[in-house]
Amino acid sequence: MRKLCLLAALISPLACAQVVSVETNSLMRLPNTASTLQLERLEVADYGTLLIPSNVTEVTVGELHLGRDARIAIVPGEQALALKVSRAELAEGSQITARGAPGTYLKAARSGRNLDLQIKVLNAPQLSVDARGGAGAPGFVGLDGANGQAPGCTWGQAGRGADGSNGSDGQPGAPGALVRLEVPRDYPTEQIKVEVAGGVGGAAGPGGKPGAGGKAKGCVVYKADGGKSGRPGVDGQPGPAGVAGSVTIQRL
């Protein structure tokens, strides 16, 4: 076994690490050189965060200690993550998050990462898992209308301002994750909190502003009236919320 761990360590330094510790108020990222990691002990101090990359699909931990408001943050990915813990001590406010990423103007929102979480022995005031979908991208803002041309003193009337274009609709929120928990038979159900709601829909894109009409102009012979302003663009519609995920709880 030691030879196997040594070989794995040459490929991935933390594949068979004895202890991984995250200091208070700091962030540590596990290596992404191996899809499977085995840790004898994992400690995340108060307000610290351990980041699990998207390509890691299985993490086995002998002893897990999460301090106050400590986090295990799981990066969104296409494959589910299996997190297997023999013994866990979780402090107040600690959490495991597998939330999806919010959408942007260039990328769609991402769903929560599917998670299989097994904890054989658990001591915690609350087991909190957040695997909600990412929020949808906002709609595009409508273009402003151009201003009307001013009149001349020898010809015509002022130009009308152009209408603003309509804003686009917000994009859909991403689905929540599928979460499967295996916890001790005697751990109280009311102390388990799992969030798998779909992401909120993207905000509506506001309509463009109307263009101003050409300004009135006083001349020697006559006065040219100002032009009318254009109409503002219509706001888009908010995007729909993502589909909720699901939670399955099994007792060990």
Taken in order 187, 189, 190, 193, the sign of the CA dihedral is positive
Structural contact between residues 156 and 182, judged by C-beta atoms closer than 8 angstroms: no
* Cα 125 to Cα 192: distance, rounded to the nearest angstrom: 9
CA distances from 214 to 143, 144, 163, 231 (A): 19, 16, 14, 14
Confidence category of residue 166, pLDDT binned at 50, 70, 90: very high
| Contacts for 54 with CB less than 8 Å, ≥ 6 apart | 32, 75, 76, 77, 78, 113
* Per-residue pLDDT reduced to its tens digit, 92-117: 999 999 999 999 999 999 999 999 99
Query: With bands split at pLDDT 50, 70 and 90, how would you rate the model's confidence at 150?
Result: confident
- Which residue is associated with the tokens 């980041």? 51
Strands laid side by side in the 127-130 sheet: 27-29, 49-52, 71-74, 95-97, 127-130, 192-195
Has this prediction a pTM greater than 0.75?
A: yes
Whether residue 194 has pLDDT greater than 90: yes
Instruction: Say what the pLDDT of residue 223 is.
Output: 61
Closest CA to 52 of 39, 62, 63: 39
> Would you place residue 8 in the very low, low, confident or very high pLDDT band (cuts 50, 70, 90)?
very low
Q: Count the neighbouring beta carbons within 10 Å of the beta carbon of residue 189.
A: 8
CA atoms within a 13 Å half-sphere pointing along the CA-CB vector of 154: 0
Query: Tell me, what's the pLDDT at 14?
Result: 47
Q: Please, what's the largest Cα pairwise distance for the chain?
A: 102
What one-letter code names the amino acid at 224? A
Which among 70, 63, 76, 213 is positioned nearest to 133, based on CA atoms? 76
The pLDDT, as a whole number, for residue 155 is 57
Q: Which two tokens stand for residue 229?
A: 């302003």
Q: What is the mean pLDDT of the chain?
A: 89
Residue type, 40: E
- Between 157 and 34, where is the model more confident? 34
pLDDT bucket at 216, cuts 50 / 70 / 90: low
Give the model confidence (pLDDT) of 196-212 as tens digits.
999 999 999 999 999 88
Secondary structure letter of residue 77 according to DSSP: -
Residue 36 pLDDT exceeds 70: yes
DSSP 8-state assignment for residue 191: G
Contact 172, 106 (CB under 8 A): no
pLDDT above 90 covers a percentage of the chain that reads 75
Per cent of the chain over pLDDT 70 is: 85
Across 60-81, average pLDDT:
97
Q: How many angstroms separate the CA atoms of 180 and 114, rounded?
A: 8
Euclidean distance between CA atoms 46 and 87, whole angstroms? 19
CA–CA distance, 161 with 79 (Å, rounded to integer): 53
| Structure confidence at residue 230 (pLDDT) | 86
